[in-house]
Every structure is written in C-alpha cells, then in structure tokens.
Structure 1
Amino acid sequence: MALRKNKIGFDRQLTNDWLNQVAYLVADGNSPEEVRIKFRESFEDQTSDALRKTINLLMGIWSTVPVEIRPLRNQTIDLFLHADDSEKKIIHYLMALANYPFFFDVCLLTGRALRLSDSITSKQILTKIQEKWGERSTTIRAVQRSLKTIEQWGWLKSGKQGLFSIYDDSSKTIIPVEMHGFVANCILFGALRSSMLIEEIIQNPCLFPFQIDFNMHEMKQWSGVRIEKRGREDLLVSLR
C-alpha cells in the first residue's frame, strides 16, 4: 500500500471506450505487455508521450494492478463480462477508486462538497487535495482530469467558470445488489484502510453518483471482505 499512498498517477482524462477495451483485453488473458501492444495498435500516433501516459493509467486500473488488488481484479472481471453498459461504468469507476487513492480522495472531496452546495469548482477540490497530497506541480492537472473523467461517465456536468454539478440528481445510477460487496472492497482499498465501520462505507461521499441501499447478505457473499460485529450494534467491514 505504501507505493499507492504516495502515487498520484491519475493524470489523464479517460474515456469509457478505452477502459472497456483494456478490460476486455485483460479478460481475454493477455499479459500486460500484450495489452499495451494491442491497445496501442488502435491509435495512429503510437509513439506519443500522451498515449504512453494514458496507457499507463489504464493499465494501472485493470492490468498492472498491485499484488494485494489482484484477487479483487480477478473477481471483478466476471462482474464486468456479465454487466450491461451502465454497470460497466460503475465497475470502471470503482476499480479506479481502488487502485488510485488520489482519485479516491478527489471523489470523496467532490461528494462531500456536493452535499453542501449544488456546484463546486476544481479549485475547491484542489485546495483540499493539496492539504493532503502537497502542492505538487501535477495535482492541478490531475484534479481537473479526474473530474473530467467523471463527467464523461455522465455523473458530473461542467459549466461556466470551471463549475461542476451533479448531472441529474433525480436519476442517480443504481448499483445492483451483486456489486455491494465489491463496492465495499474498492472503498477500503481506495481509502488505504484494512477495515471500516459499515456506516463509513454506506455514507461514503465517494458514492455521490449512485443510489445504493446496501444489502448485508449480498455483501457477505463477496470473497474480498468480511463483516463482523464490533460491540453490541456496530458492524465492521474488513479486507480478507
């Protein structure tokens, strides 16, 4: 976890089509090098630095994931192959959260700010991010591209003067029950935590694009987490 703790990484704006391509290549059993080569073949300029950085980010979400996240990735592949287009977007978002704590923090702060106001600016998020991640030269671009990636999924809309708002608060994406344990697993990895009280997961601001009514029975079916009582009333969700 130490490497992920200090790595910003999320410095490109991604598209859902690219994420789908890479996920399917991984699902087909391609090695990381094979994924790189096959994905790069779909671009005319295959040597640009921008493409290299984009591929590195896509790979970090689906292919070259840390050792501790590989079981999660492997289990998620089956979810992905059986998901519809809307569910695939959810899966990409959550896998990005799990693998990139910086992206997790952007989403957490965005969700928290949107609970207080109908709109936010990237500068607001940047100020908060820099309190935790420091005033690095890469954070401005990384925050903007994180927000723009969420926008292309259809969960934020941008307006004048760098404002972002929820695209349509009345029709949030519903997360199906079979993904509830997966959601908890990704939040724990993204937050760099081995355990959380169930309330911390259920009420986590990073879930701002979604509507979810957690099903405890379904959560327990997911092999990456375990749920146990702590005290008389508290439930603790932990990584297995």
Structure 2
Amino acid sequence: MKVSIGFNRHLEPDWLAQTASWVANGIIGDELKSRIDSMLSPVFDSQVAKDKTRNLLFGIWAKLPKRIPGQFQADGARLMMEYSEYHLAFHWGMMLAKYPFFVFVVSQIGRLTKLNDTFMYSQLEQRVTENYGDTSTIKRSMQFVVRTLMNLGVLANPKQGVYQLQKPIKIDVPNVKAWLVEANVLSEQLSSRSLNVINDDPVWFPFELSFQAHELTSNQRLELYHQSSGVVVFL
C-alpha cells in the first residue's frame, strides 16, 4: 500500500501565521488558496514548488479530513489569535492532528533528545527510513520537516550533521493545553488516550508543559474518565 506523506515542502513561520489568520477571519476555500498564492508568488520561481507549498499550508490550516472535527480547526485559529505568543503550539497541534509523517519524525526527535539536547541527523534518518522505507521521497520529506523545525526556531544546526534543541516554550494556559490534548489524541487517530501517555509523548519536546485533568474542562469535545490507573481522555 502506498504511504501518504503529504509533508513535501518546508514552511516559514510567517506563512503559517498569515494562513491561520485568514482562516480565523473566515476566509476559506478558493479565496484562501488565492491569498496564499499571492503571498507566495514573490518567493517562488517554480510554479510546482509554489503549488506544493500552498497545498501544504492549506492542508494544515484549512483542509478538513473526515476524522478531524471542524470545531477543532476553528478553535485552533481562534485561540491562536487570542494567544499569539503561543503561535508555535497551534501550528504544532494542527500538524500533529493532520500529518502522521510529521508526528513520526518529531516523536523520534523527542526520543533521541530525551537525555541530551542534541542528535545526529543520521540517527533520525535511520529511524525514519526503517519505518517508511529508504527512498529519496522519504528522505526529502524528512528534510522538509527538519528545515521547517529550524525555521520555527525549534532546532538549531551548530555543525554539519548535528542538531540541537532550542529553549522550550513554557505553556501554562489551560485553554491552550486543552486544545493540544485534543490534537494529540487526533494525531494517533484514536477515540481515547491515557492522560499519562499524552503527558509522556515525546512530540512535546519544543514545549515545557504538563497536562492536568482539571485544566481540560474548557474543551467540551473532551470527556474525562477517572480509572484506578489514572485518567483517560475520550473524544
């Protein structure tokens, strides 16, 4: 079966922020694509590269797969306007929810840097190609993810082949956390997940945060069930 990757271009933070802002203001569909095209036109000489970048931006902030609630996406754009200082968290949540390849790559980075804030690119490439296949398409897609993480200020590249985590962003706003928990459950394409597992997920490496059950009540799409082993979050 052909694996769908989807993450086929690198992205800039300004492109993501502007796209999210348009979505928050109700601009969708062809009008949104037209505005993204206009934004990208001065940057690209290649029509193919521009189209792929537009489609990825649209996919992150506007395309709505059946498994993603429309209100999740709308809340992400709305909350980003309200808590703009946490803009990275909202782009991150949208990419987690919609792009399994992105989830896999960043989870491997999180695992590689659990005890040390640096990793070798070759280590990451080995893990990704073992899971997705050793093809040029997979390697390019991984490069696009890593380049995007650098553009977003998540990673630095102090020397060739070595990447280093930047200082994590502290998030302590319950509304933002509650939305990120939903993004995490959606990223696994599940209907429920243990809160302990969500807290321990390596995808959170760019952030300093901890999810507590009482902080999740603002998200009405989440249902919490207390069990002897802890709390389970249901969508």
Normalising by structure 1, report the TM-score.
0.89
Normalising by structure 2, report the TM-score.
0.91
* Residue aligning to 1:192: 189
Residue identity in the other structure for 1:177: P
Counterpart of 1:21 (choices 6, 18, 23) is 18
* Residue aligning to 1:181: 178
CA RMSD of aligned residues (A): 2.0
* Residue aligning to 1:41: 38
* Residue aligning to 1:78: 78
Say whether residues 1:207 and 2:220 are aligned partners.
Answer: no
1:59–1:65: 8 Å Cα contact kept in structure 2?
Answer: no
**Counterpart Cα distance in 2 of 1:11 and 1:205:** 23
My pick for the range that moved more, 12-21 or 40-49, is 40-49
> 1:80 offset after TM fit, Å?
1.4
* Residue aligning to 2:219: 222
Count of equivalent residues: 231
Secondary structure of the structure 2 residue equivalent to 1:154: coil
Q: Which runs of 5 or more structure 1 residues have no equivalent in the other structure? A: none
**Residues 1-240 of structure 1 mapped to structure 2, 5 A cutoff:** 6-42=3-39, 43-44=41-42, 48-69=47-68, 70-84=70-84, 86-168=85-167, 172-175=168-171, 176-230=173-227, 232-239=228-235
My pick for the range that moved more, 132-141 or 178-187, is 132-141
Query: Structure 1, residues 202-230: CA drift from partner, whole Å, max 9, x if none?
Result: 11110011111223212132123221123
**Counterpart Cα distance in 1 of 2:193 and 2:49:** 37
1:173–1:209: 8 Å Cα contact kept in structure 2?
Answer: yes
**Structure 1 segments of 4 or more deviating over 4 A?**
none
1:14–1:54: 8 Å Cα contact kept in structure 2?
Answer: yes
Q: Which runs of 5 or more structure 2 residues have no equivalent in the other structure? A: none
Among all aligned residue pairs of Structure 1 and Structure 2, give the percentage whose two residues are the same amino acid. 29
> 1:46 offset after TM fit, Å?
7.5
> 1:47 offset after TM fit, Å?
6.3
1:126–1:139: 8 Å Cα contact kept in structure 2?
Answer: no
> 1:123 offset after TM fit, Å?
2.4
Query: Structure 1, residues 144-176: CA drift from partner, whole Å, max 9, x if none?
Result: 1211211222121112222111123xxx20122
1:11–1:142: 8 Å Cα contact kept in structure 2?
Answer: yes
2:129–2:139: 8 Å Cα contact kept in structure 1?
Answer: no
Query: Structure 1, residues 40-92: CA drift from partner, whole Å, max 9, x if none?
Result: 113235761111000111111001121322221012222012122x3112111
Residue identity in the other structure for 1:144: Q
1:119–1:166: 8 Å Cα contact kept in structure 2?
Answer: yes
Residue identity in the other structure for 2:112: A
